Amino acid sequence: MLEQPEKLVITPSSAPKLQAKNTFNFTKILSSVEELLGGAGSPQESLEWTRVREEILRQDESVKEQNHQRVLEKTRLIYVIVFSATVFLTGIVLFICRYENAVYLIAVGLLPLLSRRKKLSS
C-alpha cells in the first residue's frame, strides 16, 4: 500500500537544493501527509502515515544539521586562513625589520595552511 519509510531518503547532495528551493513544497507535503493521517480509515493506515510523517521530519532535521555543519566548516576555514595570513605577513614585516625571532612567526603562519593541505590530500 505505502512505501516503507526506509526507502524515503534525502541524499546529502540534494540537501542544499531542497533547502533553497522546496521549503514551501516541504510544508505542502507535510500538510498533505497530516491530512491523510487525519482521514485514515483504519489504525494500521494511521500508523503507516505516522511513520511517513516521522521519516519526513527526521530527514528535514538531518538536512538542516548538514547545512549547519557546512556553515561551521566554512567559517572555521576562513578563520584559519585569516589567522595564518595575518601571522605570516607580520612575520615577513618583522623579518624585513631584522627582528630576530620573525622566522618563528613565519613558520606559525604557514603551519595551519600546510597541515590543512596534508589533511585534504589524505
pTM exceeds 0.75, yes or no: no
Percentage of the residues of the chain whose pLDDT score is greater than 70: 75
8-state DSSP, 80: H
**Contacts for 13 with CB less than 8 Å, ≥ 6 apart:** none
If one counts the domains in the chain, the total is 1
**SS in 3 state form for 14-65?**
HHHHHHHHCHHHHHHHHHHHHHHHHCCCCHHHHHHHHHHHHHHHHHHHHHHH
Domain interval for residue 66: 5-121
Type of residue numbered 76: R
pLDDT of 46 over the 90 cut: no
- Between helix 43-96 and helix 102-121 the angle, nearest 10°, is 150
pLDDT, tens digit, for every residue of 64-104?
999 999 999 999 989 989 999 999 999 999 999 999 889 99
Select, from the ranges 29-33, 44-48, 84-88, the one with the highest average predicted confidence (pLDDT).
84-88
pLDDT at 17 over 50: no
